[in-house]
A = this chain, B = another copy of it.
Amino acid sequence: MNRNRVTIKDVARAAGVSRQTVSRAINDRGEISEETRDRVLSIAKEMGYRPSSIARGLATQRTGTLGLVVPDVANPFFADVAQGAEHAAYAEGYSVFLCNTNEDPQRELAVLQSLEEKRVDGVVLCSSRLEENELREALTHQTAVVLLNRWLGDSNVGTVLIDDEYGGRLATEHLLQTGHHMVGFLAGPPASRSGRRRAKGYRAAMIRAGSGDPEAWILHCIPTVEGGRIAARQFLTAYPQVDAFFCYNDLVAVGALKASLELGRSIPDELAIIGFDDIPLAALVTPALTTCHVPRYELGRQAMQLLLDRIDGCTDMCRELLVQPELIIRDSAL
């Protein structure tokens, strides 16, 4: 392998035309007779000619490449996001650089700079760990940017967010409407923005249903199975009359499930439980978890689509997108 690359010049010589004519043939933009185009094309094919996109990029100032920055592709959440983003990009003829940050802000900065040097036409940045002004600074030189799961004030960037508030409302209302009255919220870490947004939806639903003061029924916890177990146990002891839990995420919900069963509550009859995310585990536990499904592939697809729209000039209208979770009813809440 690795013979000398055949260039546009070689093709031009072989076809007895100018380089420009070859260029016109491969880019197929009128301005050329059908006849010569076909002839040039067939010769090019025969010679195994592969137009160099880097030379083209240098000449046109557009590379046809995009950056996708995620904390960790091995995390199923971002793997699905990446999948959606990649599909959307590929459909428009773009290729994407996949970059892991490993949650490291320094590396995120490095990756962003490398993407700049590669002259990508745009970047989708997932869950940035950078501080507000650092992030703003890092993005100023970027051509086009869409932020996923992160909000940045005024900056002229696109944004795609999960509609956590809607999800919180959806789950809570469902519990309320299926005959539950005292719905506790196992809220995850206080620092979590999405947790706070979910709490907002929870509150709205509770107040609207007139179910008393919801504040007392919000209990923060570590967002793991064990954290959920501990919190639920605590909650059930403090308020034995609780008849439903809305949980920060599926891990917490599985923990709550465990605790409830340990304390002899039957699910979903005596106690209903709803999670958030719809991770694979949710369908596998017994009873299977009712949860708010977050459409991850869709999230990636929409973010990339938004980026492409913005690259194509529509930077004003297309600014912000909210992707809505969907309630998946399984066995832990009917």
Min CB distance, A244 to chain B, in Å? 25
Q: Residue on B with the closest CB to A81?
A: B74
Q: Select one of B52, B80, B97, B281 contacting A74, CB under 8 A.
A: B80
Determine if A53 and B143 form an interchain contact, defined as CB atoms under 8 angstroms apart.
no
A280 smallest CB distance to B (angstroms)? 7
Give which listed residue, B83, B99, B116, contacts A100 with CB less than 8 A.
B83
Residue of B nearest to A113 (CB): B50
Q: In the assembled complex, how far is the CB of residue A259 from the closest CB belonging to chain B, in whole angstroms? A: 18
Closest residue of chain B to A281 (Cβ to Cβ) is: B284
Please tell me if A238 contacts chain B, counting CB pairs below 8 Å: no
Residues of B within 8 A of A55 (CB): 58
Assembly CA distance A134 to B79 (angstroms): 29
Residue pair A82, B53 in contact (C-beta under 8 Å)? no
**Is there an interface contact between A52 and B100, defined as CB atoms closer than 8 Å?**
no
Q: Is A309 an interface residue (CB 8 A)?
A: no
Pick from B51, B87, B95, B117: contact of A97, CB below 8 A. B95
CB pair A98 B100 closer than 8 Å: no
| A57 sits at the interface (CB 8 A) | yes
Confirm or deny: A187 has a beta carbon within 8 angstroms of a beta carbon on chain B.
Answer: no
> Given contacts A54-B57, A95-B118, A141-B1, are A73 and B63 in contact (CB under 8 A)?
no
Q: Give chain A's interface secondary structure class.
A: mixed
A100 contacts which chain B residues (CB < 8 A)? Answer: 83, 86-87, 90
Give bound CA distance, A200 to B284, whole Å. 33
Known contacts A1-B141, A48-B141; A82 and B98 CB within 8 A of each other: yes
Chain B residues with CB under 8 Å of A118's CB are 53-54, 65, 95
Tell whether A224 is near chain B: CB-to-CB under 8 Å: no
Q: Chain A 35-79, CB within 8 Å of chain B: the 1/0 string? A: 000000000000010111111011000010100100011101001
> Please, how many angstroms separate the alpha-carbon atoms of A50 and B143 in the complex?
13
For window 170-205 of A, CB contacts with B under 8 Å fall at none
**Is the C-beta of A114 less than 8 angstroms from some C-beta in chain B?**
yes
Once the chains are docked, how many angstroms separate the CA of A68 from the CA of B68?
A: 14
Option from B54, B97, B284 in Cβ contact (under 8 Å) with A96: B97
Instruction: Specify which chain B residues have a CB less than 8 angstroms from the CB of A116 in the assembled complex.
Output: 50
- Output the least CB separation between A329 and chain B (Å): 22
Contacts of A21 in B (CB 8 A): none
Residues on B with beta carbons closer than 8 Å to the beta carbon of A144: 1-2
Assuming A50-B116, A53-B118, A54-B118, what are 17 further A-B pairs, CB within 8 angstroms? A2-B144, A51-B117, A52-B58, A54-B58, A54-B63, A55-B58, A65-B97, A72-B83, A76-B76, A83-B100, A86-B100, A95-B114, A97-B97, A97-B98, A98-B98, A280-B280, A281-B284
Please give me the 3 A-B residue pairs with the lowest Cβ-Cβ distance, nearest first: A98-B98, A74-B83, A79-B79
Chain A positions near chain B (C-beta within 8 angstroms): 1-3, 48, 50-55, 57-58, 63, 65, 68, 72-74, 76, 79-80, 82-83, 86-87, 90, 95-100, 113-114, 116-119, 139-145, 156, 280-281, 284, 297
